Structure 1
Amino acid sequence: MRVIATATVLVLGLTTGLAEAQYMPIPKTFQPSLEAAKKREAVKTPPLTAATPVKDTLYRIGDALGMLRDIEERDSVLTLDFKGTGTLSVGGVSCTLANFRGQLRYSVPAMRIDFACAEPDGKPGQRHVQVIANAMAWDEARPGGAATPMPDAVTDRLMRLWALPQSVYKAAVIAGDKAKTTLENGVLYLTYPLPAPLNGTARVALNTTDAIQLTMDTGEKYQLSYWIDRVELRVGNRVEELTYTDYAELNEPDYRSEVMFPRHIVEKRDGMVVADLTTQRTNTYNPYVVMPLPVNVKEAYPASAATAVPAAIPAGGGARGGGAPPAAAAAKVATPRTADGHPDLNGRWGGGAGGAVGTASIQGLDKSGNRVTFASLEDAKASATKIFARNYTARHANPTYSERDQGMTDRYRDNLNPPLYKAEFWDRVQYLDMHGNYLDTAFLCAPVGLPRIGAPVRIIQSPTEVVFLYNNRNMWRVVPTDGRPHGKEDDRDQTYMGDSIGHWEGDTLVVEAVGFNDDTWLANVATAPGWFHTTGMRVVETFRRDGNTLYYGYTVYDPDVLAEPWVVGPRAIQLNTTNGPYNEDPPCIMNTRPMVSRERG
């Protein structure tokens, strides 16, 4: 096979941590992430004299934990990954842990804990992998490995899942108006029924007197408080009590997400300590965490067990790209057709058409350190002491928040429908995402590739071919639709966009692309969180027009690394009838300075 573009970032099968970047070495140390606040200090606040309303209480909890993101302050925590040490009761016997890892995925909801007790010589002993997903529990020989159904463990594992701090907020939101607050001896308590199928209650003691006061660039001060101190869950005769202390940002210093997690966790079951954990490190940037349901486990439970627990995420994850949906239902428009009878795909689709650089207003700091808006980039360069990288309306008018919020919400949207990799590649995906500033070739001005580039902004259709134009690095594709096959295997180049051929299936144009290099990553909605592929990837896209709406979707086949085909869409894209210019995408100019942070906003 003739290869014209090879820049393999990772050799398939390398273990996590041994990766080498093709274009830029990964430094051993990184510059710490920017501090979001100009000043951060611990303060004491007076005890409450009356119970805070439930709505305000939940807001304070979610805000303190770093769950409420973007200017809408929406719960954006989908997945968590944390590691720790300490002691854990196994079979009624306490053991010192050689390692411990917990993972959560709230869209199921599901939790996996993976641990081993230390042998007398300090080495890890037998590995224990315990999973709960919805109302189904099972053990695994290794994550994603051979599974054994554990129906008797469902209640205990669901109680442990719902007792974690971020889970408390989500469960109380699910409870709705059944959640209540009371003030007892100066302590604020939040109570609510546990999510189905658990028939029980939660009682949560909140610390409202210890606060972290943040002073932002604007001078605004606000406090993080209402920490979850103690959670007591009661289901029948079972009582689960967890105590949390020392909340902190525990991600890597250069990978901050502003999500807080307790450093110390003590779990009691029926009055006996069953876990005493110290959290060492977290990944709270909505990392790649999946809990696929093994076939034998699915067969061991009734069908209702797969949907018995409500999803612990907000309804509707939002979407980006492809043009804004119509504000109101548009009148039905007949689908135009070409002379050969196929739907006419010609036109400009979606809202994107590029834009001029340097003409928009820019936010930054003036010589007195005040946040101001400059009329243009040129004005900012002449007068600002600091120019903010993005011009978003940010939470608390803080540009660092806008960057981290984007990183969180992008991964939230993407990971609602992630490709399912084979289990041996799960950690590799996380590693690639964390080091994306070095390993994502799109950061190095390479084409983003297919299918990450998304739908075209312009389609030009003839009886024998379709041309796709993209407002991304000024890319284009010519897709024959005259019935020709792909070129012979030894003549097919490995490229960023692959070799494409198309055919019609009824009113749907089906485009198959093969012959890719493995430099690029996959993407769903917003970003590419470490989703790699091989040169054996095959992408099948579908284009269907209904009136003035184009429905675009695709399926990725890559059996060497994916456990199953990855299906995305279709999503609706509106015909753009404006007569605006098609502005050239500005050239990508790589910064010659080495990147010093892994944080990807």
Structure 2
Amino acid sequence: MDEKRSSRRCIKAMSALLAVCLVSLSAAAAESYQPPRLASGKPDFNGVWQVLNNANYNIEPHGGQAAMALREGPVVPVPAKEVLALGAVGAVPAGLGVVEGGKIPYQPAALIQRDKNRQNWLTSDPEIKCYLPGIPRATYMPHPFQIFHNDEALFFSYQYANAVRNIYLTDPGPAPIDSWMGLSWASWDDDTLVIKSSGYNDRTWLDRAGNFHSDVLKVTERFTRTSDHTIHYEATLEDEKVYTKPWKISMPLYKRVGADDRIQQFNCVEYVEELMYGHLRKTPLEK
């Protein structure tokens, strides 16, 4: 018995050591990586990129569940009647989360509002109505986005809802109006592309789980090439109306290659016409 325990301890120790070595090797490889560069010598971020995580369901760590919209069941919560027919297609996959530290530092009143958002997901999530996603949510939706840039211009094109961002290369000052995608400008920190954004409205969410912000949100994104096919992405969110302190998300972005190196149209405005305006038909369709 003692020999078995000793063997298990040895295997666990070796596994932990191997994990540390792999992380160290990965970090060393990222530090020594030399990215393709523009004429100015700055890293080249051109390409189509996409996440491989479940952050759009919930940026905090979460387990799988039967649906985003639930109701009380005889033993455990079950899907709401509006989404019951979706079955497994409407289920929520588990996610490790992308929030550093695991939890968003909400103020008490804001946490109550987050929970209300979650309960009213079917009628409140802007994604359901094809509203523009805002930043940082546009980055980790289940749709790719394309970066176009040279030394004189920087432009992001998103497959979801045909959203775009035209990034200023010098500080333009305060945003003249609030908007869904905000006003953004870029600078460089050595080989890291830094984008600061503000001027948001308060109508976008951070995910399907009701995590949200106010109209004073400021986002600082950092893009760092770590290999020919990966970017390390970070975003720091500041909002004194909603959070107790600034907080950060981070994740890898993966480059699409070959024939998949393109974005398609996902013009969801027309897909939600029945949802938004079907009741205005002379003879509304049966719900």
Task: Say yes or no: TM over 0.5.
Answer: yes
Residue in structure 2 matching 1:461, options 130, 149, 156: 149
Shift of 1:399: 5.2
1:582 pairs with 263, 267, 271, which one?
263
The two structures have a TM-score, normalised by structure 1, of 0.32
Q: Show structure 1 runs of 4+ deviating over 6 A.
A: none
Deviation at 1:346, TM superposition (A): 1.2
State percent identity of aligned pairs: 25
The equivalent of 1:558 in structure 2 is 239
What is the distance in 2 between the residues matched to 1:435 and 1:499?
29
For residue 342 of structure 1, what is the aligned residue in structure 2? 42
Structure 2 CA distance for aligned equivalents of residues 451 and 442 of structure 1? 14
**Given the alignment, which residue of 477, 481, 485 partners 2:171?**
485
Other structure's SS at 2:43 match: coil
User: Which of 114, 124, 130 is the aligned partner of 1:429?
Assistant: 114
CA-CA distance at 1:350 after TM superposition: 3.2
The one-letter amino acid of 1:409's match is A
1:472 aligned to 2:172?
A: no
The alpha-carbon deviation at position 333 of structure 1 amounts to: 6.4
CA distance in 2 between counterparts of 1:520 and 1:480 reads 22
Does the 8 Å CA contact 1:351/1:576 hold for their aligned counterparts? no
Q: 1:433 to 1:414 in 2, by over 3 A?
A: farther
Q: Give SS of 1:574's match.
A: strand
Partner of 1:508: 192
- The equivalences for 1:250-265 within 5 A come to none
The DSSP-based 3-state class of the residue aligned with 2:137 is coil
Query: Match for 2:148: what amino acid?
Result: I
Larger radius of gyration: 1
Q: Which has the larger share of strand? A: 1
1:530 counterpart letter in structure 2: G
User: Unpaired runs of 5+ in structure 1?
Assistant: 1-176, 179-328, 353-388, 391-397, 595-601
- Deviation, structure 1 residue 583: 1.8
Tell me, yes or no, if the aligned pair for 1:336 and 1:547 is still in contact at 8 Å: no
Question: Contact (CA 8 Å) 1:464, 1:480: kept in 2 or not?
Answer: no
> For the Cα contact (< 8 Å) 1:461–1:467, is it kept in 2?
yes
Q: Indicate if the aligned counterparts of 1:460 and 1:468 stay in contact, CA closer than 8 A.
A: yes
Alignment CA distance shift 1:552-1:427 (3 Å): same
| SS class of match (1:349) | strand
Q: What is the TM-score when the length of structure 2 is the normalising length?
A: 0.65
Give the 3-state SS of the residue equivalent to 1:429 in structure 2.
helix
CA-atom RMSD in angstroms = 3.1
Please give the alpha-carbon distance, in whole angstroms, between the structure 1 residues aligned to 2:86 and 2:120. 22
Deviation, structure 1 residue 446:
1.1
Which secondary structure state, in structure 2, belongs to the residue aligned with residue 430 of structure 1? helix
Match of 2:18 in 1: none
Letter in 1 for 2:157: L
Distance 1:505 1:351 in 2: 23
Shift of 1:557: 0.4
Q: Distance in 1 between matches of 2:38 and 2:235?
A: 24
Count residues with an aligned counterpart: 212
Q: Which has the higher contact order (CA 8 A, sep 6+)?
A: 2
CA distance in 1, matches of 2:37, 2:245: 36
CA contact (8 A) 2:139 2:145 kept: no
Query: What stretches of structure 2 of length at least 5 have no aligned partner?
Result: 6-28, 53-82, 280-287
What is the 5 A alignment of 1:61-100?
A: none
The aligned runs of 1:182-197 (5 Å cut-off) are none
Determine which structure has the larger helix proportion and give its number: 2
Q: Secondary structure at the match of 2:156?
A: strand
AA aligned to 1:428 is Q
Choose the corresponding residue for 1:445, options 105, 115, 130. Answer: 130
